[in-house]
C-alpha cells in the first residue's frame, strides 16, 4: 500500500482551516496537518516534511510570503511544494516568491473543495 501524502494546511481562520482539513482527510489517502500561523507552520514543515503546504498569505506573526521565502532559504522546498490560499485579488504578493516549489494558488472566497482536491492530486501525482 502506498504511503499517505502529507498536506499542511496553514490558515489563521480556524473555521476554514478545519473545513479544508476535514474534507481532505475524508479522502482517506491524505494525512492532513494544520497550523494557524507561519511560525508554527515552519516548525511543522521542518519536523514532518509534508509533500504540500496550502499556505495562506495574510496571517499574523509571519505571513505566507515570509514562510515561503524561509522555506527556500532552508531548502525545504526541495521536497515540499507550496500552493497559496488567498482572499486577495492582488496576486502580486505571490510573485515575490521565486521558487519552482510554488505550484499554484486558490482564492479562498471562491474555493471549491473538489477543485482544490483536484489541484492537489495533480501536484502530488508522480
Provide mean pLDDT across the span 14-27: 94
CA gap 63, 97 in Å, rounded: 12
Quick one: 79 exposed, middle or buried, by C-beta within 10 A (0-12, 13-18, 19+)? exposed
pLDDT confidence bin for 107, thresholds 50/70/90: confident
> For residue 100, what pLDDT is reported?
73
Domains of the chain listed by start with CATH number:
5-110 (3.40.50.2300)
Report residue 97 as a C-alpha cell.
Answer: 516568491
Of 61, 106, 60, residue with least CA distance to 86:
106
pLDDT confidence bin for 2, thresholds 50/70/90: low
The average confidence (pLDDT) of the chain is 88
**103-125 burial string, b = 16+ CB within 10 Å, else e?**
bebbebeeeeeeebbebbeebbe
> What are residue 85's phi and psi, to 5 degrees?
-115, 130
CA gap 83, 106 in Å, rounded: 8
> For residue 96, what pLDDT is reported?
60
pLDDT, one tens digit per residue, over 42-97 is 999 999 999 999 999 888 889 998 999 999 999 999 999 999 888 766 555 666 66
> For residue 110, what pLDDT is reported?
80
CA dihedral 19, 23, 28, 33 (to 10 degrees): -30
Question: Which pTM does this prediction carry?
Answer: 0.90
> For residue 1, what pLDDT is reported?
39
The SS3 assignment for 4 reads coil
Amino acid at each position: 500500500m502506498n504511503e499517505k501524502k502529507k498536506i499542511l494546511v496553514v490558515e489563521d481562520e480556524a473555521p476554514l482551516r478545519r473545513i479544508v482539513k476535514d474534507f481532505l482527510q475524508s479522502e482517506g489517502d491524505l494525512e492532513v496537518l494544520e497550523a494557524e500561523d507561519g511560525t508554527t507552520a515552519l516548525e511543522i514543515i521542518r519536523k514532518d516534511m509534508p509533500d504540500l503546504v496550502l499556505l495562506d498569505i495574510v496571517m499574523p506573526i509571519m505571513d505566507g510570503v515570509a514562510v515561503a521565502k524561509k522555506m527556500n532559504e532552508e531548502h525545504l522546498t526541495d521536497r515540499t511544494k507550496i500552493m497559496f490560499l488567498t482572499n486577495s485579488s492582488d496576486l502580486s504578493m505571490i510573485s515575490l516568491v521565486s521558487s519552482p516549489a510554488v505550484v499554484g494558488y486558490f482564492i479562498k472566497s471562491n474555493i471549491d473543495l473538489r477543485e482544490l482536491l483536484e489541484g492537489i492530486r495533480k501536484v502530488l501525482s508522480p
